[in-house]
Amino acid sequence: MARIPNDCFSAPEDMISVEQARELIGANLKTVTQAQTIPLSDACARLLAEDITSHLNIPPSDNSAVDGYAFAHDSYEAAQGIGFSNLGRSAAGTPFNGTVSGNCCVKIFTGAIMPAGFDTVAMVEDIVETEGKIHLPKGLKKGANRRKAGEDIEIGTLILKKGCVLRPQEIGHLACIGYSEVPVFSKLKVGLLSTGDELTEPGTPLKAGAIYDSNRFILSSLLKKYGCEIVDYGIVPDDLDAISKALKKAGQECDLVISSGGVSMGDEDHVKAAIEENGSLTFWRIAIKPGRPLALGQIGTTPFVGLPGNPVAALVCATQFVRPLISGLAGSHTISPPLPVFGKSAFQMAKKSGRREWLRGRYYLDADGTPTLEKYKSEGSGLISSLTWSNGLIEIPEETTNISVGTTLCFLPYSELYE
């Protein structure tokens, strides 16, 4: 299996910015998935594994954009007042096969091929038919209501680039040039585990002092949205040996391993030592809130990310840093950053300069229709209710130190962060 270079995640010495972290994450990545051919109807949301060039003109022939009468514009002026004789009909899929001459027209339907020699179409609702003659309206320009062969896609054009995400419209684009199967990258196989003695599997009884594991469910749902195949390694207790074994197995079986919890340097945080037994781990100090240092490393040559245990911090770090990592490993090196929207702050807040913050936010239109942003009432990064309350993250830039009511703020809807 293709792997990433050994020093992929060597530690930057100083505190780094969000942009620097993303650049470093992207810099050494290479695609680790393989190309496979699948039916086009199953390919939505997958990553295209080859450049696609059109071997057809679309539309393949000149055709009519409306229901009406096709004619030669050169004889248009001469026929005014006299009218055209109708020679027959051309319907979509059943072209007119006769020969045409001046002063005549052919009834034509939307999508039907233009009879050879005809270049213009009058709409059916604009013509007058008297005594077997078709009288056309004045003022039609040459080529009116005609679609030219190749005007949408010209033969030989590169229409889709390797690595692009196949949305419904790309699927349609492939279908319209005749593809029934498409080369895509195999799904990135991500091994997921949670660490913590307190963690309990939902559906089983909760002992005193224990909590249910929510991160694995948040993260597997998110990673499936990112197109990954999940291998679930469950809950691993705070025990060096157990964590080491689980990580080693996951590293051998997967393209990427992600854990949450156990990386905050407390007595029970064994992930660092466990990774070091099987590879290397470094902590990146990124100037952000929420999120402790992000743990990045390798188990053998398999990349590893250790996310914080607090669910909010785990989700925020996953959307900001794991998303570009996944996209690079999976074969898409051109992932576009989430598209923000902007709204007026309904709150005030002081902030430390020099770090980027993401607040759980709610974007709505106020009574006047003004896009407005509210933040969750408290900041704790363990508050899962703040995630369900919000519909996205308010992104506060590094240099901001003060937000007043009415300040324009940048908002990242979850719909953008989950794509």
Residues from 285 through 324 that contact Mg ion (CB under 5 A): 309
To Mg ion, the closest distance from the beta carbon of 381 in angstroms equals 14
Given ligand AMP, Mg ion, none, residue 365, with its beta carbon under 5 to 8 Å by kind, binds none
Q: Which stretch binds Mg ion (CB under 5 A): 59-67, 165-173, 188-196, 359-367?
A: 188-196
Among 33, 57, 145, 215, binds ligand AMP (CB under 6 A): 215
Of 260, 263, 311, 315, residue with least CA distance to 285: 263
* 298 in Cβ contact with 289 (< 8 Å): no
Contacts of 352 (CB under 8 A, 6+ apart): 401
Strands, E, within 44-109: which ranges?
Answer: 52-53, 63-64, 68-71, 84-90, 104-108
Given Mg ion, ligand AMP, none, residue 214, with its beta carbon under 5 to 8 Å by kind, binds ligand AMP
* 362 in Cβ contact with 390 (< 8 Å): yes
Cβ proximity to Mg ion: between 262 and 338 the closer is: 262
> CA separation (Å) from 80 to 77, 104, 106?
5, 12, 16
To ligand AMP, the closest distance from the beta carbon of 211 in angstroms equals 6
Among 115, 163, 196, 392, binds Mg ion (CB under 5 A): 196
Q: What is the C-alpha to C-alpha distance for residues 303 and 142, in angstroms, rounded to an integer?
A: 62
Q: What is the C-alpha to C-alpha distance for residues 14 and 138, in angstroms, rounded to an integer?
A: 74
Q: Environment class of residue 362 by beta-carbon count within 10 Å: exposed (0-12), middle (13-18) or buried (19+)?
A: middle
Among 110, 200, 214, 282, binds ligand AMP (CB under 6 A): 214
- Please name the residue that has the structure tokens 């469910």: 217
Tokens of 116: 């050879």
Neighbouring CB atoms inside 10 A of 194's CB total 25
Tokens of 194: 């949670």
Q: Which residues pair with 319 in a beta bridge?
A: none
Four-CA torsion 298, 299, 305, 306, nearest 10 degrees: -120
Given ligand AMP, Mg ion, none, residue 215, with its beta carbon under 5 to 8 Å by kind, binds ligand AMP
Q: Which stretch binds ligand AMP (CB under 6 A): 55-63, 64-72, 257-265, 392-400?
A: 257-265
Q: How many residues bind ligand AMP (CB under 6 A)?
A: 19
Strands, E, within 165-267: which ranges?
Answer: 181-185, 189-195, 199-200, 211-212, 229-236, 256-260
Strands, E, within 220-278: which ranges?
Answer: 229-236, 256-260
* Angle of CA points 46, 256, 44, to nearest 5°: 10
Tokens of 187: 């799904």
Among 382, 385, 401, 402, binds ligand AMP (CB under 6 A): 382
Among 115, 279, 309, 343, binds ligand AMP (CB under 6 A): 309
To ligand AMP, the closest distance from the beta carbon of 215 in angstroms equals 3
To ligand AMP, the closest distance from the beta carbon of 378 in angstroms equals 16
Among 50, 198, 277, 398, binds ligand AMP (CB under 6 A): 198
Among 64, 186, 260, 386, binds ligand AMP (CB under 6 A): 260
Cβ proximity to Mg ion: between 309 and 413 the closer is: 309
Q: Which stretch binds ligand AMP (CB under 6 A): 20-28, 63-71, 120-128, 208-216?
A: 208-216
To Mg ion, the closest distance from the beta carbon of 260 in angstroms equals 9
The residue at minimum Cβ distance from ligand AMP is 309
Q: In what order do the strands lie in the sheet with 256-260?
A: 229-236, 189-195, 256-260, 302-307, 294-299, 279-284
Given ligand AMP, Mg ion, none, residue 86, with its beta carbon under 5 to 8 Å by kind, binds none
Cβ proximity to Mg ion: between 150 and 262 the closer is: 262
Among 227, 311, 324, 413, binds ligand AMP (CB under 6 A): 311
To Mg ion, the closest distance from the beta carbon of 228 in angstroms equals 24
Residues from 203 through 242 that contact Mg ion (CB under 5 A): none
- Please name the residue that has the structure tokens 């195999």: 186
Q: Is 306 a binder of ligand AMP (CB under 6 A)?
A: no
Cβ proximity to ligand AMP: between 86 and 214 the closer is: 214
* Angle of CA points 61, 66, 69, to nearest 5°: 90
Which residue ranges make up the site for ligand AMP (CB under 6 A)? Answer: 194, 196, 198-199, 211, 213-216, 260-262, 264, 266, 308-311, 382
Q: Which residues are near Mg ion by CB under 5 A? A: 196, 261-262, 309
